[in-house]
Amino acid sequence: MQKIEDRSETKYYLITLKVNGDSYTRAVKANTLLVNFLREELDLTGTKKGCELGDCGSCTVLLDGKPVNSCLVLALEAEGHEITTIEGLSQNDKLDKLQEAFVENAAIQCGYCTPGMIMSAKALLTRNPHPTEGEVREAIAGNLCRCTGYVNIVKAIMSAAEEQQ
């Protein structure tokens, strides 16, 4: 990891991250969090910031396919890993099945938890294409929604799973 100093002796590190299939090289400070790297450096503002302490899950992204809280990962620590954000799910302007299912099942109210919720669900369905309701609830236990009561969210994830069959 190359270290660069600017005129005021602030240190930057040159890192390359693969985000949604594309490689981005940026000079970042050590204290740059992955969530801020995504939102501020790459303008990928689909990933939300909520509690910023790893409790609410609104900043959930996939790191090598696994859901993590991007507010608790340093951009430097994510170097060399593959990141998928909510922007990476749609293909050729077509929404992912999960995104469609959230729309169809009215699983969205204010929408703030939705990107993180869908990333957790995406990881679940990749690993376990036919989850039980219990497994769905467990997979999204780290994603808090204060609007919906989760009923339609669970319904949406289950229906996306059925559609895969």
Q: What is the dihedral of CA 3, 79, 77, 143, to 10 degrees?
A: 140
Question: Is position 77 an interface residue for another protein (rule: CB under 8 A)?
Answer: yes
Q: How far is the CB of 93 from another protein (least distance, A)?
A: 29
Per CB under 8 A, contacts with another protein among 17-56 are 29-31, 33, 36, 52-55
- CA torsion sign for 124, 128, 133, 139 is negative
Task: Please give the structure tokens belonging to residue 113.
Answer: 């938890």
Q: How far is the CB of 100 from another protein (least distance, A)?
A: 23
Question: Is position 131 an interface residue for another protein (rule: CB under 8 A)?
Answer: no
Query: Among 132, 130, 136, which Cα is nearest to 117's?
Result: 136
**Binding positions for another protein, rule: CB under 8 A:** 1, 11, 13, 29-31, 33, 36, 52-55, 57, 60, 63, 66-69, 71-74, 76-77, 79, 120, 138-139, 141-142
